[in-house]
Chains A and B, each alone.
Chain A
Amino acid sequence: MLELQDICYETEDGKLILDHINATIEDHFVVITGPNGSGKSTLAKVIAGINKPSQGRILLNGEDITDWSITDRANRGISYAFQQPVRFKGLTIKDLMSLAAGKDATVSELCDLLSEVGLCAKDYINRDLDGSLSGGELKRIEIAMAFARNSDLTLFDEPEAGIDLWSFQKLIHVFEKMVAVSDGNILIISHQERILDIADKVLYLKDGKVEMYDTKDKVLPKIMGMPSSTCSVLTEKMKED
């Protein structure tokens, strides 16, 4: 369980990106959505320890982790899949998947993890995680690394970004399976309707504030204007993609 207590994040030039965020993430699968610039990615970075909040406290399973480093949070059960995957010259996919799993992963284990995201292990494990891979391949591997960690809390920052819609339909099944088999909390930043559809709860962020945080049945009709129409946030995002 993750508790966000009065979290603010202010940039060096004084812009308030997160404005007194209060939320308790105790449901299995929670989706954070909201317009571009609403502070979603910043909130994920604050939870992972990459950005330090200007004020407020963060509790993980009742323990105050506000002052913990990125490393300590990772080792105590927080995983974070970046929106923009990082590239490494000289580190192979096997190297990084092994680091993520915390052990020297076997080919069979890598095969299981990579096939979940639609990649054949034998084509990838010895390749460097560098610019020779496409954006979609990098993103799938980023997601597979988060799965490999099997953490108490796994954060995904826009897993759909950089993946074509056809491939994303397949990835939906990955998240559905993760919901089914994982014991931990899953927190996904997403604009995708099908991701929102499988959420236990949806947190709607706007201008750095929590506008709504409730079950999807209560939140989705409101952000979509009416139940049968399409959310402008979603359509704008899908046009961008």
Chain B
Amino acid sequence: MGTIEQNILKEVAGLDALPVGAYNIRTNGTSSARNTTANIDIVTKEDKPGIDIIIKPGTKNESVHIPVVVSQAGLKDMVYNDFFVGEGADVTIVAGCGIHNCGSADSGHDGIHTFYVEKGAKVRYIEKHYGEGDPGTTGKRLMNPTTIVHLKEDAEMIMETSQISGIDDTLRITEADLCDRAKLEIHDSIMTTGDQNADAQFTADLNGEDCACNIVSRTVARDHSKQHYTSTLNGNNRCAGHTECDSILMDQAYVLATPQLSAATTEASLIHEAAIGKIAGEQLIKLMTLGLTEEEAEEQIISGFLK
């Protein structure tokens, strides 16, 4: 693995070396390194590109890293990864994709991740998307992740997803359905710059009694970039749902936020919030009174907001 690939691995998965536990590193469309454990198996799919990650019931305090690196200009990588999380397991899954495009043709990665989280299992899922290119190159970096989550009774999932830098065009789809007492928490951060475009679509079907879903999205749109955020919560049972989209708008950027709620029962308690605005002047002034320049204050506010 070269320096470019190592740098991308560090950006998307925080890896300086091979991780502890189970992992599968996919580089330019093929698996370049893999490790399984007694409790976590990783199997290559035979009918389409991708892997099955099989986590045994009761597996505790283990992690799976499945980063993807695309460094070959013009490569369009498509992958289907299915996660089978056994009953009562408690695991952390670190995904993420980084594209380095140094050519004139577009490079892309479309990942479809499907989670089958069994009764009482807990998953923390961290996904980071990142792009970079050499100066003067015209090839775009495209990324279209789809995440589908099925949560059985008492299952819990926390998703921390982010796309802070370097992706020119993205369509991010997240769909979830929840059984009784299941809980889903999503924290999504996006920053777009230049002429980038980001479209994020969340849908959660709250089917189970006393299930709960909380989606918090923080975005920053700079320069001439465009963002469209859609979040739909469908309350089909006694449940609690909350969706929040906060955007900082800068320069000539554009943000469209469309939170939607639907309730099929009076017992569904659903809330949506959306706010779009520039950085508050009083926040800049406060940080300047602590000795920061206006530019430093702006960066501090943005990095905290997206943290």
Contacts and interface: CB of A to CB of B under 8 A. Distances in A.
Interface stretch (B43-51, B66-74, B284-292): B284-292
Interface stretch (B80-88, B162-170, B221-229, B297-305): B297-305
B304 A95 contact: yes
B245 interface: no
A78 B291 CA distance: 9
A61 interface: no
Nearest to B283: A86
A86 B297 CA distance: 13
Contacts of B267: none
Nearest to A82: B286
A69 B305 contact: no
A95 B292 CA distance: 13
A74 to B, nearest CB: 4
Contacts of A95: 300, 304
B280 interface: yes
A90 B285 contact: no
A99 B285 contact: no
Contact of B289 (A74, A88, A89, A91): A74
A90 B285 CA distance: 17
Interface residues of B, number: 22
Contact of B306 (A69, A74, A82, A90): A90
B246 interface: yes
Given A89-B218, A90-B306, A102-B291, A70 B285 contact: yes
Interface residue tally on A, bucketed by range = 20 to 34
Interface string B255-287: 000000000000000000000000010110111
A12 to B, nearest CB: 16
A13 to B, nearest CB: 20
Interface string A92-121: 100110011010000000000000000000
A71 B294 contact: yes
A71 B293 contact: yes
A99 B304 CA distance: 13
Interface in A32-84: 48, 50, 69-71, 74-75, 78-80, 82
Given A91-B301, A91-B304, A95-B304, A86 B282 contact: yes
Contacts of B282: 86
Contacts of A149: 290
Nearest to B287: A99
Contacts of A82: 286
A88 B304 contact: yes
Interface of A: 48, 50, 69-71, 74-75, 78-80, 82, 86, 88-92, 95-96, 99-100, 102, 145, 149
Closest 6 CB pairs of A and B: A90-B304, A91-B304, A70-B288, A86-B286, A74-B291, A90-B305
Given A69-B288, A74-B289, A95-B300, 4 more contacts: A70-B288, A71-B294, A74-B290, A88-B304
